[in-house]
Amino acid sequence: MSKERYLVVRTHGLMTHLLNPDRIRSWAMIPDWESLFKEISSTEYGVFLEKVDDLRSADKVTDVTLRVLGRRVRTFLEISKGDVVEEATVRYLAKYDVENLKRKIFSLLIRKEGVSEERFLPISGFMVSMDPILRASDVSQICDLLPQGKLRDFISAWLSSGQMNIPLLDIGIDRAYLAETIAWAEMTKMREVFRIYAENYALGVILRSQLTGIGSEFYSPMLEFLSQNVRKALSESSTFEESIKALLSTEAHKSMASELMEVYEKYGVPWTLDLSLFKELYSKIRSLARMKPLSSIFPFSYIVAAEWESWAVRTVVLGKLSGIESEKIYDMLSLY
Amino acid sequence: MSFRSVGRILPTKGFLIRLRERAALLQMGVEALKMKRDQLIRESQELLKQLHARKDIDKKLEEAFSMVKMAYAVAGPQEMRKAALLATPLRIEVRTKSVVGVETPEITTSEFKLAVSPSLNSAVMAAAAKLSEAIREMMPLVNAEARFERIAEALAQTMRKVNALEKIVIPDYTAAIKYVEELLEEEDLEEFLTIKKYRQIKRGE
Establish if A28 belongs to a structural domain: yes
B128 vs B122: CA distance, rounded Å: 9
Using the beta-carbon criterion (under 8 Å), do A318 and B73 form an inter-chain contact?
Answer: yes
CB contact under 8 A, B117 and A170: yes
The reply to whether A8 falls in a domain is yes
Interface of A with B in 94-123 (CB under 8 A): 99, 102-103, 106-107, 110, 112, 114-116, 118, 120
Mean pLDDT on A300-307: 94
| A111 — pLDDT class (breaks 50, 70, 90) | low
Evaluate whether B128 touches B118 at the Cβ level (below 8 Å): no
User: How would residue B97 be classed by pLDDT, with cut points 50, 70 and 90?
Assistant: confident
* CATH of residue A175: 1.20.1690
Examine the pLDDT at B1 and tell me if it is beyond 70: no
How many independent structural domains does chain B possess?
A: 1
The nearest alpha carbon in chain A to B78 belongs to: A116
- Position A63 in a domain: yes
* Interchain contact, A208 vs B72, CB within 8 Å: no
- How confident is the model at residue B2, as a pLDDT? 63
Q: Which of A188, A212, A230 is the last residue of a domain?
A: A188
What whole-number distance in Å separates Cα of residue A308 and Cα of residue A162? Answer: 39
Q: CA of A291, closest CA in chain B: separation in Å? A: 30
Instruction: Note whether A62 and A94 are same-domain residues.
Output: no
Calculate the average pLDDT of chain A.
88
Burial (CB < 10 A; 0-12, 13-18, 19+), residue A125, is buried
Contact A118 B78 (CB under 8 A): yes
Report the DSSP beta bridge partners of residue B111. Answer: B91
User: Are residues B73 and A329, on separate chains, in Cβ contact within 8 Å?
Assistant: yes
Residues A92 and A172 reside in one and the same domain: yes
Can you give the pLDDT at residue B91?
82
Query: Binning pLDDT at 50, 70 and 90, where does residue A113 land?
Result: low
Give the residue numbers spanning the domain of A250: 190-278
pLDDT digits (tens, 9 = 90+) for A219-259: 999 999 999 999 998 988 889 999 999 999 998 999 999 98
What is the rounded distance in angstroms from the CA atom of residue B187 to the CA atom of residue B194?
10
- Would you say residue B6 lies in a domain? no
User: In chain B, what residues touch A62 (CB-CB under 8 Å)?
Assistant: 76-78
Backbone angles phi, psi at B97, to 5 degrees: -125, 135
Per-residue model confidence (pLDDT) at position A1: 56
Which pLDDT does position A130 carry in this prediction? 81
Residues A180 and A198 in one domain: no
Q: How many domains does chain A have?
A: 3
How confident is the model over A151-196, as pLDDT tens digits?
A: 999 999 998 988 878 888 899 999 999 999 999 999 999 999 999 9
Q: Nearest by CB to B73, which of A59, A110, A315?
A: A315
Q: Give the minimum alpha-carbon distance from B53 to chain A in angstroms, rounded to a whole number.
A: 20
pLDDT score recorded for residue A126: 77
Report yes or no: B134 at the A interface, CB cutoff 8 Å: no
* CA nearest neighbour of B64 among B155, B131, B128, B154: B131
Range of the domain at B92: 13-199
Query: Are A98 and A158 in a shared domain?
Result: yes
CB within 8 Å: B81 and A269: no
- Flag whether A305 is in a domain: yes
Residues of A in contact with B118 (CB under 8 A): 167, 170-171, 205, 208-209, 211-212, 214, 219
CA of B41 vs chain A CAs: smallest distance (Å) = 40
Q: Is residue B84 part of a domain?
A: yes
- Considering the domain architecture, whether residues A5 and A32 belong to the same structural domain is answered as yes
| Confidence label for A6 from pLDDT (cuts 50, 70 and 90) | confident
Determine the pLDDT at residue A162: 83
Q: Do residues A95 and A105 lie in contact, with contact meaning Cβ atoms separated by under 8 Å?
A: no
Q: What angle do CA B160, B166, B171 make, to 5 degrees?
A: 135
Closest among A259, A5, A200, A321 to B73, alpha carbons compared:
A321
The CATH number of whichever domain residue A305 belongs to comes to: 1.10.132.50
Nearest to B65 by CA among B160, B145, B166, B134: B134
Note whether residue A3 is domain-resident: yes
Nearest chain A residue (CA) to B79: A116
Same domain, A101 and A152: yes
**Do B71 and A271 make contact, defined as CB atoms within 8 angstroms?**
yes
Backbone angles phi, psi at A145, to 5 degrees: -80, -15
Instruction: Decide which of A296 and B115 is more confident.
Output: A296
Query: Do residues A255 and A326 both lie within one domain?
Result: no
B112 Cα to chain A: minimum distance (Å) = 13
Instruction: Report the distance separating Cα A146 and Cα A157, nearest Å.
Output: 14
A43 pLDDT higher than 70: yes
Residue A284 counted as domain residue: no
Q: Residue A104: its pLDDT value, please?
A: 84
pLDDT tens for residues B8-59?
Answer: 888 899 999 999 999 999 999 999 999 999 999 999 998 888 888 888 899 9
Instruction: Name the residue among B81, B120, B123 with its Cβ closest to that of A114.
Output: B81
Whether the pLDDT of residue A115 is over 70: the answer is no
Q: Residues with Cβ < 8 Å from B134, sequence gap 6 or more?
A: B57, B60, B61, B63, B64
Report the pLDDT value the prediction gives residue A119, as an integer from 0 to 100.
47
Residue A180 and residue A149 in contact, taking contact as beta carbons nearer than 8 Å: yes
Q: Which of B69, B82, B129 sits opposite A116 (nearest CB)?
A: B82
Give the model confidence (pLDDT) of A7-36 as tens digits.
999 999 999 999 999 999 999 999 999 999
Cβ-Cβ contacts under 8 Å, A219 against chain B: 118
Instruction: Please tell me the distance from the alpha carbon of residue B65 to that of residue A71, in angstroms, as a whole number.
Output: 35
A267 in reach of chain B (CB within 8 A): yes
Q: Give DSSP secondary structure letters for B150-181.
A: HHHHHHHHHHHHHHHIIIIIHHHHHHHHHHHH
Question: Which residue out of B72, B86, B122 would a mutagenesis test of the A interface target, given it has the greatest number of A Cβ atoms within 10 Å?
Answer: B122
Tell me whether residue B5 is in a domain.
no
Chain B residue numbers with beta carbons less than 8 Å from the beta carbon of A319 are 70, 73-74
* CB of A124 closer than 8 Å to CB of A130: yes
Q: How many CB atoms lie within 10 A of CB A186?
A: 11
Same domain, A159 and A196: no
Calpha distance B160→A39 (Å, rounded): 68
Handedness of CA A230, A231, A233, A234 (dihedral sign): positive
Asked if the C-beta of B130 comes within 8 angstroms of chain A's C-beta atoms, the answer is yes
β-partners of residue B103 are: B98
Q: Please say which residue of A167, A188, A209 terminates a domain.
A: A188
**Are A300 and A89 contacting, i.e. CB atoms less than 8 angstroms apart?**
yes
CA atoms within 13 A on the CB side of B28: 6
Tell me how far apart the alpha carbons of residues A118 and A121 are, in angstroms, rounded to a whole number: 9
In a domain, B33, yes or no: yes
What's the pLDDT band for A123 if we cut at 50, 70, 90? low
Q: Which helix (H) or strand (E) holds B77?
A: helix B54-86
Which uninterrupted H or E stretch holds A303? helix A297-321
Tell me, letter by letter, the H, E, C secondary structure of A134-159: HHCCCHHHHHHHCCCCHHHHHHHHHH
On whether residue A197 sits in a domain, the answer given is yes
Q: A residues 193-212 near B, CB within 8 Å?
A: 204-205, 207-209, 211-212
Which of residues 130 through 189 in chain A touch B, CB cutoff 8 A?
A: 166-167, 170-171, 174
pLDDT tens-digit readout, B132-173: 888 888 888 988 998 999 999 999 999 999 999 999 999 999
Give SS3 for A67. Answer: helix
> Averaged over B79-86, what is the pLDDT?
80
Domain harbouring B50, CATH code = 1.10.287.3240
Residue A99 lies in a domain: yes
Nearest CA of chain A to the CA of B51: how many Å? 25
